[in-house]
Structure 1
Amino acid sequence: MKKDIDTLISEERAEIIKKYEKGRQEGVHINPWEDADYSIYKVTDRFGFLHEEELPTPTAAEDKYKLQEVEREEKWVKMVKKWDKYRNSEKMMKRVYKGIPLKLRGQAWALLLDVEKVKEANYRKYEKMKEQAKKYSTEIKQIDLDVNRTFRNHIMFMERFGVKQQALFHVLAAYSVYNTSRGEEGLSGFFIPGFPKLQRFQVHHDQILSKLLPKLRKHLDKEQMSTGIYTTKWFLQCFIDRTPLTLTLRLWDIYILEGEKVLTAMAYTLLKLHKKHLLKMSLEDLREFLQERIASSFSMSDDAVIEHLQSSMSELRRMKLDLPAPGKRQNVFSCK
């Protein structure tokens, strides 16, 4: 007897979940195409990414940065130990803008987000959501596809169904059954059907261009370059792959501290910094640059870019353009 579509989907979901629960146990079958051969890679950089060729000798600037990183680590260790004293202080905020040291970034993010307090207030909710996802999530197949292509050149994600792939899968699966009835506010608003929050941020970005970069806006319109073409990934991914990795991590530091105003300000900053070049580009060049080449086209240091970002944030705040108008909101965000 033919199986109905719901039964087939249910079986497929169960099979995918089973693979992540087993991980890489002995005897588990993993298709060769799912586990790339990384034996050719010789060097892992300080961020955990693998490279085919040996990395060049560090430059004088890189050596200087490493010394700064050590000094900042010492300051952050002291600050983390006395977090209640430094929480929301001007000193803490300045240090976030200077960049959280790599070794302490995870711990610092957890403190900035009050993770332990959230976990206590939602005791075992994550485990319940994982179980709900196994039964009801309609996104399991898409999540599996996304996990399989996420940072496969990173030491933590290179193994198919490895520990970190398992962790990422379970987080995404649990989140997929989070009730989105809360409306546009919060992270979910960027991803619920129709992308209402993303659209509000894109409309707001257009307004900023019209008021503060009118010449560039006119050029983009002339070339029929819709801002939605490039801002979709800028906003949804918080500039991953659109800025150098070292800068991206610092943007995430500031995003966790300041919130979504960083999205509007950084989008404005990127266009300001590259304005002269953008004004000379055709539609094809604009597409390629803003969607692909921009990350490798920064001629200034991360510190200099962050200074420009701070200036943009101040400018937009003065003009009351730091955030779009709020969208619809309901009260709770609960598990189905």
Structure 2
Amino acid sequence: MEEKKRTDEFEAGTAPPSRLNNREERRVQKWRKMIGTGGSDWKYYVRRKPNVVKRRIRKGIPDCLRGLVWQLISGSRDLLLMNPGVYEQLVIYETSASELDIIRDISRTFPSHVFFQQRHGPGQRSLYNVLKAYSVYDRDVGYVQGMGFLAGLLLLYMSEEDAFWLLVALLKGAVHAPMEGLYQAGLPLVQQYLFQFEQLVKEHLPKLGRHFDEEMINPSMYASQWFITVFSYSFPFPLALRIWDVFLYEGVKIVFQIGLALLSSCHDNLMKLSFEKLIHALRNFPDEAMNPDSLLPNAFSIKLSKRLIELEKQYNDRNGVSSHKQVKQPRLSRKAS
């Protein structure tokens, strides 16, 4: 693909304490107080001061706490605690029909990132285990290539087992609407999101929407990966992480907001381009358009919650789509004692 694979050019990790400035140290301390030991105070704080939590998440979760906070805000920590030993059984004792597909695709997931570069190295093994485990946990969905980017990003911040349960929380809908429809046959949720996004472009950026129509450009040509990988595939790593912070807490709305904010920031240039150059530009946004400190505030200013619900209903009415399924527990047959 033509997209710039910038996400894997950076390494996740924590700066040593000596390199944290005083302001960052104070920020980390605020977060530690909010979380409590091992997350013990998190739910209490979220109930007591939801607006403070939302504001701090939108400013970015400190990198040294990101893995833990992602588990807390996604609901995956609860799933892990409710299912002791399940991940180990899925990895060790179960077999998957998708194993060869997973092995084939692993080298394509963040290929430039040091953690995943070594063939059969620890990063690739962990990624294989998580994807195999999920394909067994949910045999209806199994494995689809885009899942690798979600699991790969999670593995940079947490253990295999933690990453697996966060993947379950996302796809099965522990907190927000389930994402499994992004990967089911026919990609039903992708189709819904693209429908919603196309309508939103026409409503928020009418001139650009008309220009896209004239050039026969539709969102499936440039935005599918945004939804399937939540911007982890081709966007700068610092931006992808900030988007994921918000995505895990507020849901998929942020993907629509970021998409509209990107198009808005490049509006004048996009209006000048014809089909082929438009496609290239929509897959390769300039670096200045993807500065988290300017893009995210612009995205947050776009109010979409009510309209997204209306467009979802409109899409479902037109296509006879039923309501989302909720989290289900795995059906396991232990093959070893």
TM-score, with length taken from structure 2 = 0.72
Q: 2:134 aligns with which of 175, 178, 183?
A: 175
Structure 1 unaligned regions, length at least 5: 1-43, 49-63
Paired residues for 1:199-238 under 5 Å = 199-238=191-230
Residues 231-269 of structure 1 show CA distances to partners (whole Å, capped at 9, x for unaligned) of: 111111111244322111000000000111122222222
* Separation in 2, partners of 1:199, 1:272: 23
1:124-203 matches, within 5 Å, as: 124-131=85-92, 133-134=94-95, 137-177=96-136, 178-180=138-140, 186-203=178-195
Give the 3 Å change call, closer, same or farther, for CA 237–289 of structure 1 in structure 2: same
- Tell me the distance in 2 between the aligned counterparts of 1:112 and 1:169: 25
The superposition leaves residues 311-334 of structure 1 with CA deviations (integer Å, 9 ceiling, x where unpaired) of 11xx22354558723643446635
Moved more, 75-84 or 207-216: 75-84
Q: How many residues are treated as equivalent by the alignment? A: 272
Deviations 1:194-243 (A, max 9, x none): 00010000011111122221211111111121210111111111112443
1:173-322 to structure 2, matched below 5 A, reads: 173-177=132-136, 178-180=138-140, 186-291=178-283, 293-294=284-285, 296-299=286-289, 301-312=291-302, 315-317=303-305, 319=307
Question: Which one-letter code corresponds to 1:226 in the other structure?
Answer: N
Residue of 61, 76, 79 corresponding to 1:100? 61
1:156 counterpart SS class: helix
Q: 1:67 to 1:306 in 2, by over 3 A?
A: farther
Which residue is equivalent to 2:29? Answer: 74
Q: Which moved more, 1:319-328 or 1:79-88?
A: 319-328
How much does 1:130 deviate? 2.7
Equivalent-residue separation in structure 1 for 2:260 and 2:219 (angstroms): 12
- Extract unaligned runs of 5+ from structure 2: 1-8, 14-18, 142-170, 332-337
Structure 2: which amino acid aligns with 1:74? Q
Equivalent residues of 1:247, 1:302 under 8 A apart: yes
Larger Rg: 1
**1:132 Cα deviation from its structure 2 partner:** 6.3
1:117 matched residue in structure 2 = 78
The verdict on how the C-alpha distance between 1:119 and 1:333 changes in structure 2, with shifts beyond 3 A counting, is same
Looking at structure 1, the residues matched to 290 and 244 of structure 2 have their Cα atoms a distance apart, in angstroms, of 19
> What root-mean-square deviation, in Å, do the aligned CA atoms of Structure 1 and Structure 2 show?
2.9
CA distance in structure 2 between the partners assigned to 1:110 and 1:199 by the alignment:
28
Distance 1:330 1:77, change over 3 A: closer
Q: Distance in 1 between matches of 2:293 and 2:67?
A: 21
SS at match of 1:87: helix
Distance 2:109 2:118 in 1: 11
Cα gap change, 1:114 to 1:331, in 2 (>3 Å): closer
Conserved in 2, the CA contact under 8 Å of 1:97 and 1:250? yes
